[in-house]
Every structure is written in C-alpha cells, then in structure tokens.
A and B are shown apart, each in its own frame.
Chain A
Amino acid sequence: MKLLNEKILDLKALYVKELRVLLSAEEMIAIKTQYLADSAADRGLVDTLENQVEESEARAKRLREILQHVGDEVQPVKCKVVYALFDDAEDIIKNAEPDGVRDAAVLAAAQRVKHFEIASYGSVREFARALERKQEAELLDEAVYDEGRAELALAKIGERINPAAGPKNSLNVQDGDRTKLENR
C-alpha cells in the first residue's frame, strides 16, 4: 500500500501509529477470545477466557481514550499479526479433538496472544515514558501488568488441565506412551 506510506519521523508519530495498531489488535482479540472460549471445554478455561474478553474490551476503550487525548489520528490500523495468529489458531483448533487436545490448542493460542500483547504494550509504555506522557505511561503499564497476570492464569490452567498428565487420560496418548504409562 504505497499510497499510505506515511513516514514516521519521530517517537511521537511512532507512538501514535503503534497505539492505532494495538487498538485494532485489541478489538479483534476481544472478538476472537470469545471464539476461543466457545471452543474450550474445561469450565475454568472457559471462565478465564470469558473474563479476558471483558478485559480486552475495557483495554480497547482505554486505548481509544488515550488516542483521543494524544489528539492526532485516532482510527485503528489493521494489526496483521493478530489476524495471522488467529488464522493459525483456528486451523489447529477446528482439527483438534477430543476436548482435551482442543483445550490444549485453545490454551496455546491464547498464550501466544497474551505474549504478543505483553510485548506490544511494553513497547508503547516505553514510548510514553520517553515522551514524558506520564498518565498514559501509567495506564499502559497497568495493561502490561494485566496481560502478564492473564498469561500466568493461562499457564496455571495449562499445568492443571494438561490432558497428557496422568494415566486416567492415557486415551489421549499414542500407543507407545500408553504402554509406558501403564508400566509405571
């Protein structure tokens, strides 16, 4: 898209651009996290993801407010990364069964998204700090913290629901492993 090849010449322009991309990402994440929740079977995983939908919506709202406060362009710029992440995720989730394996795929997708957001909010927070936009830096710092907390919650679920953990779930494991589990 050569026509839109606006030059980013300083940190503030970069900050605004990244915020606009992040806004598009967060709006898409809110929609797609609901899809992840709908695809999951484990109650705890479903609840956690549904909470995260609400958190994403709240963060999208906050990003809009920050962009309005900065006062340059406020329209979202399509975040290709999040589209690609969910393309990959849907590909594997729709082919994964039984429930335990699908939950593992849902969890892996959700964790990728959280890490993407930790990195993205981390960057814009640093930009806000360098630009001495203190109030915005604080809000973005909260977002980094919340995303980290969300990632940890998912990681904990991963340890709990891992369908390969223990002989009772050995049906999900291939033959060689089943023998190994039974011989313990």
Chain B
Amino acid sequence: MTVKVTTVEQFLVEELKDLYSAETQITKTLPKLVEAASSVELKSAFEHHLKETEGHVERLEKAFKILGTSPRGETCDGMKGILAEGSEMLHETPAGDIRDVVLISAAQRVEHYEMAVYGTVRTYAEELDRPDIAELLRQTLEEEKAADKKLTEISQKVNLHALRAA
C-alpha cells in the first residue's frame, strides 16, 4: 500500500478492504475444506459457513456502497498466510481424524482473525457515527463467533478419535 492514511474513516475503508480480500479468499478455500474433511459434521459445518461467508461478502459490498468506494485494491496477506500454512499442514496429514483436527485448527485461526478485524472495524464505524455500517459488521461478527464455537464443539469429538486412531 502506498496511500497515506490520515483519517480514521480512511483507516476504516482500508480495514474493510482487508476484510473483503480475506472473505473472498475464504469463499475460494472453503469448498476445498469440505472436500478434505472426513467427518460429516465438519463437512456440513464448512458448507454452512460457505453460505454465511457469501453473505459476509455481500454485507461488505453494501458497506462500500454506503461509503461510496470500491472494495478492490487490497490483498489481505494475513489471511493468505493463514490459508497457506493451513494448506501446508493439510498436505502433511493423511485423510481421516488427524486431518480433520488440522482442518479445525486452521479454520479456528481464520475465525479468530476475522473476529479481531470485525471487532475493531465495528468499533470505528460506531465512533464515526455510521450505525448502518456498524450493524452490518456486528451481524457478521456474531456469525464468526458462532462458527468458532461450533468448531470447538466438533473438535471435542474429533480430537479423541484421532488419539484412539494413533
């Protein structure tokens, strides 16, 4: 990035672009996670989250429309790193319980990244007196938190399986 960021509103736009790039990367990756998962519950959790993520992209597009700017022009390197590391781990594990554990742990890193960013941008949107945008961000934040919780629930079943299989 070469643009100077001199106002909080500009910073908010930069963060929203970061999120837009992250969410777009996630929509492309989730179908691969569905394929890679063995547990039926995990597969369906990823499928469900893919639909939600498409909704997150739409909400961000709405926010950009309200702000009168374009969502393009940023690559979220953080998300790229999370997905690259997850994919590497994935290729080091055989399909089955152990791979499911890796998938869950990578997916939870994705959720936490998003929780961090949606959390901060929602605060800034509120402070900038943009309740319409803050509400869009709040809805997504809630879904990300729920997705993380769901993954924890599934992991508690899968982990022990992986142990027994070893």
Instruction: Tell me if B92 and A5 are in contact (CB < 8 A).
Output: yes
Per the bound structure, the CA–CA distance linking A88 and B6 in Å amounts to 17
Instruction: Tell me if A88 and B18 are in contact (CB < 8 A).
Output: yes
Q: Which residues of B contact A155 (CB under 8 A)?
A: 119, 123
Q: A10-B162, A14-B101, A18-B105 are in contact. Are A81 and B85 (CB under 8 A)?
A: yes
Binary CB contact string for chain B from 89 to 123 against chain A (1 if under 8 A, 0 otherwise): 10111100010011011001101110111011001
Q: Which residues of B contact A180 (CB under 8 A)?
A: 129
Instruction: Tell me if A84 and B8 are in contact (CB < 8 A).
Output: no
Q: B40 an interface residue at 8 Å Cβ cutoff? A: no
Q: A119 an interface residue at 8 Å Cβ cutoff? A: yes
- In this complex, the member of A83, A85, A129 whose beta carbon has the largest number of chain B beta carbons within 10 angstroms is A85
Q: A29 an interface residue at 8 Å Cβ cutoff? A: no
Q: What interface size band does chain B fall in?
A: 35 or more
Partner of A119, one of B91, B112, B129: B112
A33-41, A49-57, A90-98, A135-143 - the one binding chain B? A90-98
| Interface SS majority for chain A | helix
Instruction: Tell me if A101 and B7 are in contact (CB < 8 A).
Output: yes
Q: Which residues of B contact A127 (CB under 8 A)?
A: 101, 159
Q: Which residues of B contact A79 (CB under 8 A)?
A: 85
Per the bound structure, the CA–CA distance linking A131 and B163 in Å amounts to 7
Q: B15 an interface residue at 8 Å Cβ cutoff? A: yes
Q: A58 an interface residue at 8 Å Cβ cutoff? A: no
Q: Which residue of A lies closest to B166 (CB)?
A: A10
Instruction: Tell me if A122 and B108 are in contact (CB < 8 A).
Output: yes
Instruction: Tell me if B162 and A11 are in contact (CB < 8 A).
Output: yes
Q: Which residues of B contact A101 (CB under 8 A)?
A: 5-8, 10-11
Q: Which residues of A contact B7 (CB under 8 A)?
A: 101, 172-174
